[in-house]
Amino acid sequence: MSSAVAATRAVTLAGIQAPIKARLDRVVPELQKIVAHELPSIQQVAHHLLQAKGKLFRPTLTLLASDVEERGAEKAVTLSAAIELMHLATLVHDDSVDHSVKRRGMPTLNKVFSHEVAVIMGDYLYARALGALVRLENLTVVRIMTDVTAELAIGEIKDHPLRAQRR
């Protein structure tokens, strides 16, 4: 086996995340701060949703990329959290559309609460993520993320053709 192949096999996500670990550790608290609200039902649903932390792959890529341009490195934690929230919103909506009962080993929002709550919470996550992006005062980022969100919705519509409901 060549040394290049052996080195490739030794790469782990933790190894990739090591140079940005301090900032990556700030992403989940930033997520919690962005979705925080005094309404108890939002607190309850957000708590359930955020207790199953994923691999934080998107924040990892964002933080690694931010190291290339130092002037944006501090805002990168908020950007990472917003991107992760938007991803989480897509998962919440997908789980509701697909009637999934588990995600990351935990019951989905639609299973624990209802499909209506899941859709509303997914919308809330999108709105809070976009609000966080606006506060970064970078319209290019806001435009890109809103375009991506629209494309995601278009993709879902293509996957679920419209059918007239008869009542």
Rounded average pLDDT per 10-residue block, the chain, 167 residues: 62 92 94 94 91 88 83 83 94 92 90 93 95 93 93 86 67
26 vs 46: CA distance, rounded Å:
18
**Which 3 state secondary structure label does DSSP give 107?**
strand
Give residue 167's pLDDT.
Answer: 60
Do the beta carbons of residue 113 and residue 90 sit within 8 Å?
Answer: no
Do the beta carbons of residue 141 and residue 79 sit within 8 Å?
Answer: yes
φ, ψ of residue 67 in degrees (nearest 5) = -65, -20
Give residue 67's pLDDT.
Answer: 78
Give residue 66's pLDDT.
Answer: 87
